[in-house]
Structure 1
Amino acid sequence: MNKPHVFGLARSMAHHFSKLPCDSLCLIEGLGVEGDAHAGVTVQHLSRIKQDPDQPNLRQVHLIHAELLDDLVEHGYVLAPGALGENVTTRGIDLLALHEGTRLHIGEAVIRVTGLRNPCRQIDDFMPGLLKHMIEKPADGSLNRKCGVMAVVEHGGEIAVGAPIRIEEPAGPRRRLEPV
């Protein structure tokens, strides 16, 4: 297995579904990705603003594992990093198996995982039929959301494509990730 590292980076100053690839990002403590429409202390996702514009922004940084993009090729979808709206595309980490509160040390920055991205209909608007590959429905009736995780910036700094990622599990009881 590859050592955990940054496979791709992306940002968008406007609220577009996909983000533009870049070689590096500056993460700002308590805000998110510099120059990204989703940066802020309070929620910046348009659908969440409608619900409660004062709720804390637990979705400052969106991460997706490159292995998901690899799997999607088998279904006829070729996606570059940033295509699904993620800021950081990782390789060598099972993001979906992380626990709430896990810290990822990337370059100079530290981000804390807050929960799962909840795949929505915008994925099918982007590419028809893609949403069904973002959610698995096991026989027990549960849902496995595969569209990455969300995080907040605890310590700002520069991150670059190729940077190693160090995983720091949270102390105390471990909680499975839930959608945020």
Structure 2
Amino acid sequence: MNDEHGSIEGTVTAVSSDSGHGFTKPNRESVRLLTGLGVEGDAHAGVTVQHRSRVRRDPTQPNLRQVHLLQAELFDEVAAHGHRVAPGDLGENITTAGIDLLELPEGTLLHLGDEAVVRITGLRNPCYQIDRFSKGLLKEVVGRDTEGGPVRKAGVMGVVQQGGVVRPGDPVKAELPTGPHRPLERV
């Protein structure tokens, strides 16, 4: 939602984390974001890549996927096709409502709650594990545009610019980068 000053705002609806590398993440009362690392105690926190497939390729890569954010509006969209998805089910750390995360440009700063700031680095590239969660769901979260290119709807990834505690009900405010905006690509 845009306010009269052009800022883009929404709300945190859920927060999730897991110390293991499972697909879904349990909901929490709060999560603490750590500057330059990610979600405290989450398996994907770290300066370098933590996702298993990326570690196998090159464990020295910078971790551009410290925090996974997903808009709750996706749940209604996939429910219309028979898929029951709730916050944390797709492995996201922060679930939002009222803000179209997928349309924000690369480098957007998301102010979460009183202190935390996450810089969006790109789109989540969903994998076959989504179909293990719910058969056929991958087709719903990766569509095609009119030219046949992929349209990824499984959320955005980011890095923690400023730490802080994030809770359900906290506001989310997007601060767009200056200069020409680059559309999000998969990271």
Do they superpose with TM above 0.5? yes
Comparing 56-65 with 3-12, greater Cα deviation is found at: 3-12
* Letter aligned with residue 152 of structure 2: R
Per-residue CA distance 1:34-68 (angstroms, 9 max, x = gap): 01000000000000001110000000000010000
Query: In the comparison of the two structures, how many residue pairs are matched?
Result: 180
Matched residue, 2:35: 29
Map residues 1-180 of structure 1 onto 2, 5 A cutoff.
Answer: 4-107=10-113, 108-180=115-187
* Letter aligned with residue 17 of structure 2: R
Q: CA separation in 2, counterparts of 1:33 and 1:126?
A: 23
Q: CA deviation at 1:77?
A: 1.3
Q: CA separation in 1, counterparts of 2:99 and 2:123?
A: 15
Matched residue, 2:6: none
Secondary structure of 1:4's counterpart equals: strand
The percent of aligned pairs where both chains have the same amino acid is 57
Tell me how large the CA RMSD over aligned residues is: 1.1
Q: What TM-score does the superposition give when structure 1 sets the normalisation length?
A: 0.97
* Off by >4 Å, runs of 4+ in structure 1: none
Comparing 33-42 with 130-139, greater Cα deviation is found at: 130-139
Q: CA deviation at 1:138?
A: 2.3
Per-residue CA distance 1:2-53 (angstroms, 9 max, x = gap): 9500011100000000001012110000000001000000000000001110
Q: CA separation in 2, counterparts of 1:138 and 1:104?
A: 27
Q: CA separation in 2, counterparts of 1:77 and 1:56?
A: 34
Q: CA separation in 2, counterparts of 1:79 and 1:130?
A: 10
Q: What TM-score does the superposition give when structure 2 sets the normalisation length?
A: 0.94
Per-residue CA distance 1:131-176 (angstroms, 9 max, x = gap): 0001111231111100000000000011110000111000111100
**Structure 2 unaligned residues grouped into runs of 5+:** 3-8
